Amino acid sequence: MNEIVEQFRRAVRDIWLHRWIGLIAAWLIVIVGAVSVYLMPDQYEASARVYVDTQSVLKPLMSGLTVEPNLDQQIAMMSRTLISRPNIEKVVGMSDLNLVSKTNEQTEGQIDYLTRAIEMRSSGGLNLYTIAFRNSNPESARKVVQSLLTIFVESNLGNKRKDSDTARRFIDDQIKAYEQKLTQAENALKEFKINNLATMSGNGKDYFTQMSEAGNELATARLALEEAENGRNALRRQMAGEDAVLLGANPDAQNVAVPEIDTRIASLKHNLDEMRLHFTDAYPDIISTKRIIGELEEQKKAEVAAMVKASPTRSPLSANPVFQQLQVQLAQAESDVASLQTRVAAYEGRYNKLKAAANNVPKIEADLQQLNRDYEVNKANYEKLIGRRESAQMSSDLDASAGLVEFRVIDPPRVSPRPVAPNRVMLISMVFLGALAGGIGVAFLMGQIRPTFSDRKALREISGLPILGTVTMIWTDGQVRARRRKLTWFVAGAAGLMCLYGAGLAFFLARSYAA
């Protein structure tokens, strides 16, 4: 602590020894600074306030029907990007500042100056902005602010229309792309269904369900066939216990019933009648059927003859009504058995076909699910894009007819009647303080350049030699008076410096109030 105090004391002594140099430096700084402050041009500020109203009445009414952009965020971003080089170049042309510039360097200087000087700031309220600019020419400052205000309003509307057009074009391109994807998915699904029609069901059932149903149908048909065969066999056994006819010596074969042959002949005759409806008698199948019928009739005659030969003592031919009824039932049973046999064969073929394709079906169903999934995704995206396009169109029409953003100029561009800069009162005070600091600094610097020793301790510390003694300075009366005169002149110089500061302060205060 003592060392710090000692160093401070030495610094003060050095400054006092070179006080005249410091006073001259302070006077020079004050004079130069006062002249500079006086010559600084007055700056006038032009400003305007604009409010951006984004709370339109139509906004809640059209909620959910139109696209709702974040208008507050868009306006905030525009306010931050308003002071850009393209906009500043427009301002230079709109405010006639380009008429002053003679060279490209001057134009670039103006653009840089405007970029630094123009202010776009929030005025404390939501979407309330202030545009301000300072210039030595009040009219130029007002024109600059007016130009920026115009650009701010017009660029917002233009950008909104441009964004809407760009969004619609993008959505249209996406719709066309998804139309192609949807068509490709539909064609792929159609081709897949055509190629795998045998293993697919039209009612939406999967393969294993179809196979299970086919197995159940086959089992049911087999059970029905077994029942029909049992019924037919029962009729045959019952007919075996009845006498078909009473045979005479010369029975007519047409009147004698032979169940098995009669049933086949009746079936063939029925088929023959069916074929004659479509073909002539020269058709090969008709000729073959006639031949078979003839052979069966000959076979029947032979069997009747054998029956007569076996019972020559019987009475003449007479029909048995019970036997004839059983014969009709047996024919119906034979027809039912044949029909059920056909059905069982068809069900067996279908079931075996499904069973043979069992290994490929899981892959086919997985591919079908993938195709359906791709188709549904493309279809859903396509429908969403169609809805978005309609919403974008409605939003564009709404903005064109009513507008969701309204600009309200709260304060039109105006210029302050008095200069707002420079603050000469503050500047002259800073000049005075700078002069004092500069004078003290110069005096201290001189003390460091031309050091002196004021006591034995300092000399001993610097030289490192022992001090044998000191000689005290004894001032004469003339020297004392000379020192007093110098001190008086120094005080007068310092007082003059204070008076100069006071005069400058009063002058600039009076000038500011007069303006």
Question: DSSP characters for 244-267?
Answer: -B---SS--GGGS--HHHHHHHHH
What pLDDT score does 489 carry? 92
My answer on whether 362 and 441 are in the same domain is no
For residue 291, what are the domain limits?
207-370
What pLDDT score does 24 carry? 92
What pLDDT score does 199 carry? 59
My answer on whether 48 and 107 are in the same domain is yes
pLDDT one digit per residue (tens) for the chain, 515 residues: 677 877 777 788 878 888 889 889 999 999 999 889 888 888 888 888 888 766 554 444 445 544 454 445 555 656 566 778 888 888 888 887 777 777 888 888 888 888 888 888 776 656 788 888 888 888 888 888 888 888 877 765 555 555 566 777 778 888 888 888 888 888 887 887 777 665 555 455 666 677 788 788 888 888 888 888 888 888 777 766 544 444 444 455 555 666 677 778 888 888 888 888 777 788 777 888 888 888 888 888 887 777 666 655 444 334 456 666 777 777 888 888 888 888 888 888 877 877 776 666 667 767 777 878 888 888 888 888 887 777 766 666 555 544 455 677 888 888 878 887 788 888 888 999 999 999 899 988 888 887 776 667 777 777 777 777 777 778 788 888 888 898 899 899 889 889 988 888 888 888 776 65
Number of other residues whose CB lies within 10 A of the CB of residue 185: 20
Total of domains in the chain = 3
User: Across 126-176, where does the E strand assignment appear?
Assistant: 128-135
Residue 399 falls within a domain, yes or no?
no
My answer on whether 23 and 83 are in the same domain is no
Give residues with Cβ within 8 angstroms of 281, minimum separation 6: 287
My answer on whether 216 and 353 are in the same domain is yes
My answer on whether 155 and 238 are in the same domain is no
Peptide bond just before 422 cis, omega within 30 deg: yes
> Which among 26, 42, 41 is positioned nearest to 501, based on CA atoms?
26
What pLDDT score does 361 carry? 65
My answer on whether 441 and 345 are in the same domain is no
Number of other residues whose CB lies within 10 A of the CB of residue 356: 9
- Compute the C-alpha angle 505/418/149, nearest 5°: 140
My answer on whether 360 and 433 are in the same domain is no
0.85 exceeded by the pTM? no
Q: How far apart are CA 153 and CA 131, in angstroms?
A: 12
Q: How far apart are CA 244 and CA 240, in angstroms?
A: 9
